[in-house]
Amino acid sequence: MYEKIPQPPTRPLVGNAADIDPSARMENWLRLSKIYGPIFHLSLPQRNLIILSSQELVNEACDEKRFNKRVGGALNEVRSFTGDGLFTAQNSEKNYGKGHRILASAFSPVAMHGMFEGMMDIAEQLVLRWKRFGEDSIINVSENYTRVTLDTIGLCAFNYRFNSFYQNELHPFVNSMVRALHEAGSRARRTSIQNKLMIASQRQFNADIQNMQETAGKIIEERRRKGQGEKKDVLDIMLTAKDPVTGEGLSDENIRYQMVTFLIAGHETTSGLLSFATYELLKNPSTLQKAREEVDKVLGTDRITIDHIPKLVYLNQILKETLRLYPSAPAFTVASEEDTVLGGKYQIKKSDDVVVFIAGLHRDPTVWGPNVEEFDPDRFSPEKMGTLPPNSWKPFGNGMRACIGRFFAIQEVTLVLALILQQFDLIEENPSYQLKIREALTIKPENFFIRVKTRGTAP
């Protein structure tokens, strides 16, 4: 009565290790899900992955009474620098509950009001830079957006200025982070003996971790020295709040882990969303035109305020559709407490890592129709949104472990795109550009360049 879960061919000793190459995972798994269907099995020397990409199966895996987040593989290696911060803590760890309760309100929709001016401060730096460089200047899209998103999370959460727009090179934190994330992925695929033998990589990994921890440590020290500013930010909350359940505050070590977590999770993903949205706007002139019309109608030549954000309905649909095709974090992993059965016929062991492959789920033709690759923001029109089956759109993960920064990300991206559309005409530098996705833990378009022309519609 049970069915075997399909599995691509394996190699001796390493099993399916070649199929989890982190630099091309999304592409590989989309290909494999076309061949093997909505559930397939990858075996690694120390883990079994069960990859899901249909709404029907994902809907079951999102039932938190049966499945919960598992921190394994690359995420377990990321723990070397994010420890028991929210992203990489196991549900059962005491610091997870404490951190979640203390930080949830700091990133609530209400808290976003207090962060608007900080977001605006950085977005205006981007606009000014683009204006000053002028029409002939070639803009590296992902690089510019990385500056925006790193500076925005730094300023809004910790009142710390990375000042990325005033440096030629990206902040050393970013270089350490990119290298460490890459190494974490590689470490998860090597055996522990291989890891021990790679002395130079280990040394660089340690140096990068130290650099990230020191950046966080310096920000804490400076805050203690200067005291709280005019308004309480996320760092003040972490330094002073007591968890209502245990009555305890967060330790300095845990605060450093949370800070590194926010700096990483808060900028990599969001700059990916901004980059892919810009790419799709340029590839779809009628969508760009409609978005521009909405921005002109809602903002005119006014300075954007927080009250404009919910009125930018079509822009929001564009972001949802971008996250459907390019979920910045393309997968998350859960596991069952007990051996169980999925879809009435697939046996799952409690030791299995059940991977919700978001990029595959977002291409399930039973939900999205035959043209899943087509960029169509109307899929998320207010009328259609209510008709989507449960758990068919999961770019921000699931349940209690869903993204704490989702309101932050959407507000920031809406604000930045609205400003850009209000003030610039976008020109693709290379109209025959073929999208190439660069993947680490998150995804970005590689070598995507634009130019911009000022519209003369500044507030």
Radius of gyration of the chain (CA): 22
Q: Which stretch binds ligand HEM (CB under 6 A): 37-45, 267-275, 376-384, 385-393?
A: 267-275
Residue 82 in the binding site for ligand HEM (CB under 6 A): no
Contact in structure between 274 and 410 (CB atoms under 8 Å): no
The 225-264 site mask, x for binding ligand HEM (CB under 6 A), equals: ------------------------------------xx--
Q: Count the neighbouring beta carbons within 10 Å of the beta carbon of residue 422.
A: 22
Q: Which stretch binds ligand HEM (CB under 6 A): 36-44, 109-117, 391-399, 445-453?
A: 391-399
- In degrees, rounded to 5, the angle at the alpha carbon of residue 436 between the alpha carbons of residues 447 and 144 is 35
- Alpha helix locations (H) across 12-90? 25-36, 55-61, 73-82
Residue 69 in the binding site for ligand HEM (CB under 6 A): yes
Q: Considering only residues 47, 79, 100, 129, which one is a binding residue for ligand HEM as defined by CB under 6 A?
A: 100
Residue 86 in the binding site for ligand HEM (CB under 6 A): yes
Q: Which stretch binds ligand HEM (CB under 6 A): 57-65, 111-119, 403-411, 423-431?
A: 403-411
Q: Considering only residues 363, 401, 444, 451, which one is a binding residue for ligand HEM as defined by CB under 6 A?
A: 401
The 175-194 site mask, x for binding ligand HEM (CB under 6 A), equals: --------------------
Residue 440 in the binding site for ligand HEM (CB under 6 A): no
Residue 397 in the binding site for ligand HEM (CB under 6 A): yes
3-class secondary structure, 351: coil
Q: Considering only residues 329, 348, 419, 420, which one is a binding residue for ligand HEM as defined by CB under 6 A?
A: 329
Residue 332 in the binding site for ligand HEM (CB under 6 A): yes
Residue 420's nearest CA partner among 295, 280, 283 is 295
Q: Is 403 a catalytic residue?
A: yes
* CB 204, min distance to ligand HEM, A: 26
Pairing of strands 67-69, 139-140: unpaired
For residues 19 and 268, which CB has a smaller minimum distance to ligand HEM in the complex? Answer: 268
* CB 106, min distance to ligand HEM, A: 9
CB burial readout 241-270, b (16+ within 10 A) else e: bebeeeeebbeeebbbbbbbbbbbbbbbbb
User: 443: which residues sit within 8 A by CB, 6+ positions away?
Assistant: 26, 272, 276, 326, 327, 328, 330, 437
Tokens for 269, please give them: 């993903």
* CB 387, min distance to ligand HEM, A: 23
Residue 377 in the binding site for ligand HEM (CB under 6 A): no
**Interface with ligand HEM in residues 117-156 (CB under 6 A):** 153
139, β-bridge pairs: 450
Tell me which of 88, 149, 269, 278 is the catalytic residue.
269
Q: Considering only residues 141, 181, 259, 273, which one is a binding residue for ligand HEM as defined by CB under 6 A?
A: 273
* CB 415, min distance to ligand HEM, A: 13
Backbone angles phi, psi at 348, to 5 degrees: -120, 130
Tell me which of 81, 87, 396, 424 is the catalytic residue.
396
Q: Which string of DSSP letters, residue by residue, matches 233-293? A: -HHHHHHH---TTT-----HHHHHHHHHHHHHHHHHHHHHHHHHHHHHHHH-HHHHHHHHH
Contact in structure between 250 and 102 (CB atoms under 8 Å): yes
Tell me which of 403, 408, 414, 448 is the catalytic residue.
403
Sign of the dihedral through C-alpha 286, 442, 163, 262 = positive
Q: Is 62 a catalytic residue?
A: no
**CA dist., res. 96 & res. 81, Å (int):** 16
For residues 360 and 405, which CB has a smaller minimum distance to ligand HEM in the complex? Answer: 405
444, β-bridge pairs: 438
* CB 86, min distance to ligand HEM, A: 4
Q: Which stretch binds ligand HEM (CB under 6 A): 15-23, 42-50, 390-398, 417-425?
A: 390-398
Residue 420's nearest CA partner among 75, 80, 148, 38 is 148
- Give the CA count within 13 Å in the CB-facing half-sphere of 237: 22
Residue 83 in the binding site for ligand HEM (CB under 6 A): no
* CB 442, min distance to ligand HEM, A: 8
**Which run of H or E residues covers position 452?**
strand 449-454
**CA dist., res. 57 & res. 334, Å (int):** 13
Which residues are annotated as catalytic?
269, 396, 403
- The contact set with ligand HEM (CB under 6 A) reads 69, 86-87, 100, 153, 261-262, 265-266, 269-270, 273, 327-329, 332, 395-397, 401, 403-405, 408-409
